[in-house]
Amino acid sequence: MKLKIKYFVLLLCAISILSCSSDDGIEKDEEKPTITINYEDGFPQACTELVKGETYTFKALVTDNQALASYSLDVHHNFDHHTHDDQGEECELEEKKEAVNPLIYMENVSLEEAYTTYEITFTVEIPTDIDAGDYHCSYSVTDETGWQARTSIDIKIIE
């Protein structure tokens, strides 16, 4: 009788162990989303000059293999000549200078639907009372699993 109980307990343990699996059938997302401005409507392109007081439509195309979750735009001064690790083409920079009243534009947007392709669009008015000079335009996109992609472009704001 004790032997039957031992076999029964061992059988239950074996079934429990064999029924466990690290693969729960959910496909793991191992791909980062992509982001590009290198298409006909992508804006701004590297070295674009933006005029104070004008309004511009910033656009980038983002894609993901499963689902996009959010995106953002960050425009900030580059008076200290810093760089971003993904920055492609570099433009001729003015002399380094201290920021007095730089443009700082940041906006984050969450997507309500699970798009795999989406065109980021921001309408940005360049104030007339900001410092002219070298700036960076940085786009960022995050997918539903947390993978993120970024791209930065050198631009100039002029009088």
DSSP string, 46-77: TTEEEETT-EEEEEEEEE-SS-EEEEEEEEEE
Q: How far apart are CA 37 and CA 60, in angstroms?
A: 5
- Cβ atoms within 10 A of the Cβ of 107, count? 12
pLDDT of 59 higher than 60: yes
DSSP state of 28: P
pLDDT tens across 91-110, in order? 899 999 999 999 999 999 99
pLDDT of 18 higher than 80: no
pLDDT of 8 higher than 90: no
pLDDT of 142 higher than 60: yes
31-158 folds as Immunoglobulin-like (2.60.40)
Q: Where are the domains of the chain?
A: 31-158
pLDDT of 27 higher than 90: no
* Residue of 133, 137, 138 lying closest to 158 (CA atoms): 133
pLDDT of 83 higher than 90: no
List the single range of 36-45, 80-89, 95-104 with lowest mean pLDDT.
80-89
- Give the number of C-alpha atoms closer than 13 A to the C-alpha of residue 33, restricted to the C-beta side: 32
